[in-house]
Amino acid sequence: MDKKATLTLHDGKKIEFPVLSGSIGPDVVDIRTLYGKTGVFTYDPGFLSTASCNSTITYIDGDAGILLYRGYPIEQLAKHCDFLEVCYLLLNGELPSAKQKGEFDDMVTRHTMVHDQLNRFFTGFRRDAHPMAVMVGVVGALSAFYHDSLDIDDPEHRKISAFRLIAKLPTITAMGYKYTTGQPFMYPKNDLSYTANFLRMMFGTPCEEFKPNEVLVRALDRIFILHADHEQNASTSTVRLAGSSGANPFACIAAGIACLWGPAHGGANEACLQMLEEIGDASKIGEFISKVKDKNSGVRLMGFGHRVYKNHDPRAKLMRETCHEVLNELGLHNDRLFKLALALEKIAIEDQYFVERKLYPNVDFYSGIVQRALGIPVSMFTCVFALARTVGWIAQWQEMIADPEYKIGRPRQLYKGAPRREVVPLAGR
């Protein structure tokens, strides 16, 4: 039976709208004809009740704390797959066979080098620039280097752009880091895995052989998997909105990176670590929590809360495990900030303020501690998030372009400004 929703307007007029069902998750009321039929818009700042598209990529049940990529639980993907398998899954809808994985890995590996001219692009930036500022600029600039894959109506171009972005982001991220340290850029090395290669480009030098530590490689790979996609979040919606005008994929991903930078989104891992440093000691947690509860202080507990998860963020649990593994491997199990984070988490999840508002640790609460232990500087944390999220952005962008229902995104507004008035010439004002 077709489901319908009825809207009763102020004049008593009743209008029916179709209700659409997904494979799982809440139904949606299809209000696309609302304005045409009634002359009114819906009002939903922050998209609290709005499904902006249909998608087959990622599913989140925020009340149950469930995250699925193409139907597979994140816990199983984190355990059984590597990041490139997850990339294949997000892009193609199915996990690869061994042969498909081999071909996919090979294709990514062979696109990791960047145009040599791009090296000079970096030197235009100050060495003390925030690495996210550099990343937004350099990724946006890729559209000036790869003219041969910019036709968004050509599926082959879209595919090559996707490979280029996934393959070159680690190289660009590492170049950003090397530039700030003054060390030479490291070229990618094709016999290493995606993640080991990234670590080598970050921490290796031409002077000596870099030997990747497999426990650390696996931990970083897991960070990549956990950040690979997350449904229609702010940066993904930004990528879709930018792409809806027909903009090229490099420009769209640069827009996504810009959005990710904010502390309410991807910038939270950096902000979380800064917060832990500021608290400094477990004895100061009480004082800090009081500040968080005081609405006038403007202080939030970073790494806590989520628009969708009103239960444990499943990624946070996996990240906490990874944190233990990495700190044990490095002999840092007594790490000051990790102990502080554990104490803070314990106090916060038992506190009425957080319980009532269903605020739990999110993925960023522990990812900063893992990254710091890996030697990644705090200012680079959000770049690592962007590197990992690029596959999600590009999968969502491709899905949108191939969707026959796709239209340029154009929200409307509730106008509250001055009604029409006449301009008085300067002499008369």
Interface residues with ligand CMC (CB under 6 A)? 230, 233, 264-266, 268, 292, 300-307, 357, 359, 362-364
Query: Quick one: 177 or 304, whose CB is closer to ligand CMC?
Result: 304
Those residues whose C-beta lies under 8 Å from the C-beta of residue 222, and which sit 6 or more positions away, are: 78, 318, 322
Q: Which is nearer to ligand CMC, 345 or 364 (CB)?
A: 364
SS3 82: coil
Q: Which is catalytic among the residues 82, 105, 229, 364?
A: 364
Minimum separation from the CB atom of position 362 to ligand CMC (A): 4
User: Would residue 351 show up in a list of annotated catalytic residues for this protein?
Assistant: no
The C-alpha atoms of residue 167 and residue 111 are separated, in whole angstroms, by: 5
DSSP conformation class of 183: P
Residue type, 213: N
CA–CA dist 322, 254 (Å, integer): 29
Min dist. Cβ of residue 272 to ligand CMC (A) = 7
Shortest separation between residue 299's beta carbon and ligand CMC, angstroms: 8
Contacts of residue 418, defined as CB under 8 A and 6 or more positions apart, other chains included, come to: none
Contact 65, 311 (CB under 8 A): yes
Least distance from ligand CMC to the Cβ atom of residue 239, Å? 14
How many angstroms separate the first and last alpha carbons of the chain?
64
Do residues 172 and 135 touch, judged by C-beta distance below 8 A?
A: yes
Residues 6+ apart with CB under 8 A from 172: 114, 118, 135, 138, 139
* Cβ distance to ligand CMC smaller for residue 127 or 291: 291
Measured from each CB, the residue nearest to ligand CMC is 305
Residue 339 or 358: the one with the smaller Cβ distance to ligand CMC is 358
Q: Starting from the edge strand earliest in sequence, which strands make up the sheet with 72-73, in order?
A: 58-61, 66-69, 72-73
Q: How far is the CB of 118 from ligand CMC (least distance, A)?
A: 28
Catalytic residue among 82, 105, 306, 313: 306
Nearer to ligand CMC, 60 or 114 (CB): 60
Q: Is 364 a catalytic residue?
A: yes
**Helix, strand, coil % over all residues of the chain, rounded to 5:** 55, 5, 40
Question: Which residues are part of the catalytic machinery?
Answer: 306, 364
